[in-house]
Amino acid sequence: MSTTQYIGRFAPSPSGPLHFGSLIAALGSYLRAHHQQGQWLVRIEDIDPPREVAGASDDILRTLDAYGLHWHGTALYQHQRYDAYQQQIDQLIKLDQAYFCQCTRKIIQASGGLYDGRCGQCQPRLTQGAIRVRNQAKIDRFTDIVQGKVTVDSHFAAEDFIIKRSDGLYAYQLAVVLDDAYQGITEVVRGCDLLEASCRQISLFSLLGLAAPQWLHLPLACAEKGFKLSKQNHAPAIDTTHPQASINAALAFLGQTPVDIDSVEVMLQQAVTQFNVARIPKQKEIVLAHKPGDISGKCN
């Protein structure tokens, strides 16, 4: 595989069915990858079993198929990568680039809301608790292809963040960085809810000596201002029997020209051909003109 080939991905968590906000992320990343004549991969981010819904992983893959969003290769499941995560953590601890922390949320709130690194100074070292990385990179800014120059709070950017939780579950920040590197992802296309988290991921890429991807954050679909569609707030599942209207609604949301109502395959071919990244709204969120359950091809 050429090292210069574009490789993108869609990485949903199996905490429920795909909704309109999920479709925007899936379609946006799919169109970007295919317009660049690259690969589009699917990764199921199933590292948080307490939040998972039984059967959701299979339902997500079936929904993508129904929408013609066929991925290259085999879908990767994060639970298959636990050994790789632990090996990296063991190496970081050995090099004193990560350490155990026993601070509770209450302690952190009492110290101003951000963790102050106190457990990293303990002697002898702690051997139980959550595991935090020594965040020496402290990246607080980057350039996003749609959102432009992004800057986050410097104290947030400097925080030693968790890479393995106290309950033994691997943290998103570690898993997503290792998996993006493992899969050779060259550009991450996703929603703006993860805009700030990108700085932590860039810091971790730097610490691990890995090449960071480019970043493209799409506006979030919101039912009202500050209230994004999500599985946690029970956003309705998208229709898998007649997907054409939802595809055109998602295209309109992304600033793209609607396509002829036809088979989903023909619609996607047309959408890829006319895709223009410069037309994606440079906004962090967009309030839908219709209720999520009423999405149609005429949605503003």
Pair type for strands 162-164 and 130-133 = antiparallel
Distance (Å, whole) CA 66 – CA 162: 37
User: Does 13 count as an annotated binding residue?
Assistant: yes
Q: What percent of the residues of the chain are helix, what percent strand, and what percent coil, each to the nearest 5?
A: 40, 20, 45
Closest by CA position to 101, among listed 157, 175, 176, 159: 159
User: Does 11 count as an annotated binding residue?
Assistant: yes
User: Does 190 count as an annotated binding residue?
Assistant: yes
User: Does 299 count as an annotated binding residue?
Assistant: no
Mention every residue, 6+ apart, whose C-beta is less than 8 A from residue 163: 89, 92, 98, 131, 132, 133, 170, 171, 173, 174, 204
User: Does 246 count as an annotated binding residue?
Assistant: no
* Residue 44 · residue 12 · CB < 8 Å: yes
User: Does 231 count as an annotated binding residue?
Assistant: yes
User: Does 45 count as an annotated binding residue?
Assistant: yes
User: Does 219 count as an annotated binding residue?
Assistant: no
Angle at CA of residue 155, ends 151 and 158, nearest 5°: 90
Pair type for strands 220-224 and 285-287 = parallel
In the block, which residue shows the tokens 């800057």? Answer: 151
User: Does 115 count as an annotated binding residue?
Assistant: yes
User: Does 165 count as an annotated binding residue?
Assistant: no
Mention every residue, 6+ apart, whose C-beta is less than 8 A from residue 214: 145, 186, 187, 188
User: Does 10 count as an annotated binding residue?
Assistant: yes
Cite the annotated binding site for ATP by residue number: 231
Cite the annotated binding site for Zn(2+) by residue number: 101, 103, 115, 119
Cite the annotated binding site by residue number: 9-13, 45, 101, 103, 115, 119, 172, 190, 231
Cite the annotated binding site for L-glutamate by residue number: 9-13, 45, 172, 190
